[in-house]
């Protein structure tokens, strides 16, 4: 029996279960970040009825997933008597409703929790709300430490980050075997490095961010649209933001054409240096962009990345995807402001432009994972802050 709680589980089984839930939850780390990885299991007596995990940012939380999976089981809800969850259930509305409400509504009488929410604004609030609702709650501190299960969430909720908030920044690029972002002229019309499977993955990723950010170099070279195509969530198309210090984006750029049927496209924002080209700004606004003048870097040459981050945060952007060429990518990585990377290496030799190989060779990636996507190799990780 778990201390102070009558359940069909003994403490050893609960600790083992917590470990399993943590391990399984961590498999979703790159899709949920900056949210924490969380796993939950619902019991009826000593029978495990269902498990649930937080699988992607903006998606249902683990507790809600477990309750939904249990609803599809042959065990009647009146028999559900214990929820084991790796992290304190949330008590405030974010992208989804509070989990404590879902637990109370389901009438679960007992909840065992593996760790408190590290965010001082929420810490303990979920447990209090459950107790106030008549739920017996046990905190098994140390069984699911957030620093081990979801170190990225510890960073996201650090006092420094809470004091100076900026969006969770994911840098994604496709490179040739030599780490170059532009293929040789004779490959894929000089354009594609990664294969269709990777492009599908990117479509899903685009549908799970609030904004896509690129540099004017990419707009001039590729004339991209940055739309979301199925299987991405076309209804939740992110803002399209271009860092364009001197407003070199052409007013007839593809960005300003409407999305193709079945695609989603967010509003276009051009971030330039304050005070540049008033007449050009009017042309671009007539074409469909919103133009914003920001502070420059110390040298004054480009818009400042910290001003960009502040602008994004104020615009409500919490998760951002940087899909830029090597110039902007390196500037962002060198500033230590990238939280997560996803790198697709295609089966293409050679290439043009700056190689990302040097950066990749020296970066320390926490939670590093290497996998395959179609014929491409994919590397993901959370760059250790410099
Ligand atoms: N394989 C891939 O994943 C991928 C993705 C995107 C692009 N690309 C390729 O990359 C090439 C273009 O590379 P690129 O490096 O020119 O494009 P980029 O990195 O997208 O854009 C660079 C431009 O961003 C602007 N910028 C604004 N603020 C900046 C800041 N704080 N720091 C640095 N730059 C800032 C600068 O122009 P201003 O000073 O005028 O603002 C700079 O020239 C193309 O060949 C394209 O096909 C490949």
Q: pLDDT in tens for each of the 386 residues of the chain?
A: 555 555 667 888 889 999 999 999 999 999 999 999 999 999 999 999 999 999 999 999 999 999 999 999 999 999 999 999 999 999 988 777 899 999 999 999 999 999 999 988 899 999 999 999 999 999 998 899 998 899 999 999 999 999 999 999 999 999 999 999 999 988 766 568 999 999 999 999 999 999 999 999 999 999 999 999 999 999 989 999 999 999 999 999 999 998 999 999 999 999 999 999 899 999 999 999 999 999 999 887 999 999 999 999 999 999 999 999 999 999 999 999 999 999 999 999 999 999 999 999 999 999 999 999 999 999 999 999 87
Residue 221 Cα: closest atom of ligand 1: 44
Output the CA torsion sign for 242, 246, 248, 253: positive
Task: Enumerate residues 6+ apart whose C-beta is below 8 A from 186.
Answer: none
Residue 55's SS3 state is coil
Closest CA to 103 of 58, 40, 163, 149: 40
* Protein residue whose Cα sits closest to atom 29 of ligand 1: 302
Ligand 1 centroid–CA 8 distance in Å is 59
Ligand 1 centroid–CA 218 distance in Å is 5
Ligand 1 centroid–CA 287 distance in Å is 22
Residue 272 Cα: closest atom of ligand 1: 41
What stretch of H or E contains 321? strand 319-322
Active site annotation includes 63: yes
Largest CA distance in the chain: 74
Residue 332 Cα: closest atom of ligand 1: 32
CA distances from 258 to 155, 226, 268, 375 (A): 38, 11, 11, 32
DSSP secondary structure letter of residue 314: H
| pLDDT at res. 294 | 97
CA distances from 77 to 14, 47, 54, 104, 108 (A): 21, 13, 22, 13, 9
Q: Which of 170, 214, 217 has most ligand 1 atoms within 8 Å of its beta carbon, as the pocket-test mutant?
A: 217
Catalytic residue among 48, 63, 65, 323: 63
* Protein residue whose Cα sits closest to atom 33 of ligand 1: 328
What stretch of H or E contains 189? helix 188-191
Structure tokens given for 342: 């996803």
| pLDDT at res. 192 | 82
Question: Which residues line the pocket of ligand 1, CB cutoff 6 A?
Answer: 173-174, 181-182, 193, 214-218, 221-222, 243-246, 248, 297, 301-303, 305, 323-328, 331, 353
* Protein residue whose Cα sits closest to atom 7 of ligand 1: 325
* Protein residue whose Cα sits closest to atom 13 of ligand 1: 325
Domains and CATH numbers, the chain: 11-159 (3.40.140.10), 166-383 (3.40.430.10)
DSSP secondary structure letter of residue 79: G
Q: Which of 205, 213, 218, 356 has most ligand 1 atoms within 8 Å of its beta carbon, as the pocket-test mutant?
A: 218
| pLDDT at res. 8 | 62
pTM of the model: 0.95
Ligand 1 centroid–CA 302 distance in Å is 11
Residue 246 Cα: closest atom of ligand 1: 40
Residue 329 Cα: closest atom of ligand 1: 19
């Amino acid at each position: 029996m778990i201390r102070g709680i009558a359940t069909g589980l003994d403490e050893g089984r609960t600790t083992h279960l917590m470990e399993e839930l943590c391990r399984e939850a961590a498999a979703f780390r790159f899709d949920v970040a900056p949210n924490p990885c969380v796993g939950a299991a619902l019991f009826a007596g000593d029978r495990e009825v269902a498990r649930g995990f937080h699988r992607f940012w903006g998606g249902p939380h683990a507790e809600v997933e477990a309750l939904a999976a249990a609803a599809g089981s042959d065990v009647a809800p009146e028999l559900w008597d214990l929820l084991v969850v790796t992290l304190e259930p949330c008590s405030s509305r974010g992208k989804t409703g509070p989990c404590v409400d879902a637990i109370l509504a389901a009438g679960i009488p007992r909840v065992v929790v593996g760790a408190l929410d590290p965010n001082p604004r929420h810490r303990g609030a979920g447990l209090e709300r459950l107790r106030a609702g008549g739920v017996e709650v046990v905190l098994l501190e140390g069984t699911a430490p957030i620093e081990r299960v979801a170190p990225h969430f510890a960073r996201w909720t650090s006092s420094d980050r809470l004091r100076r908030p900026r969006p969770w920044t994911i840098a994604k690029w496709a490179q040739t075997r030599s780490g170059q972002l532009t293929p040789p002229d004779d490959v894929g019309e000089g354009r594609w490095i990664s294969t269709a499977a990777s492009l599908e993955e990117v479509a899903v990723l685009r549908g799970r961010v609030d904004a896509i950010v690129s540099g004017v170099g990419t707009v001039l070279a590729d004339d991209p649209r940055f739309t979301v195509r199925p299987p991405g969530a076309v209804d939740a198309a992110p803002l399209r933001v271009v860092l364009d210090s001197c407003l070199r984006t052409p007013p007839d750029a593809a960005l300003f054409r409407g999305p193709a049927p079945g695609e989603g496209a967010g509003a276009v924002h051009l971030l330039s240096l304050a005070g540049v080209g008033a007449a050009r700004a009017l042309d671009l606004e007539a074409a469909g962009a919103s133009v914003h003048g920001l502070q420059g870097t110390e040298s004054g040459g480009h818009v400042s990345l910290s001003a960009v981050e502040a602008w994004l945060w104020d615009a409500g952007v919490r998760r951002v995807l940087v899909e830029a060429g090597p110039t902007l990518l390196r500037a962002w990585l060198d500033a230590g402001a990238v939280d997560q990377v996803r790198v697709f290496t295609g089966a293409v030799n050679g290439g043009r432009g700056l190689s990302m190989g040097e950066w990749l060779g020296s970066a320390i990636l926490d939670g590093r994972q290497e996998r395959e996507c179609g014929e491409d190799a994919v590397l993901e990780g959370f760059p250790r802050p410099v």
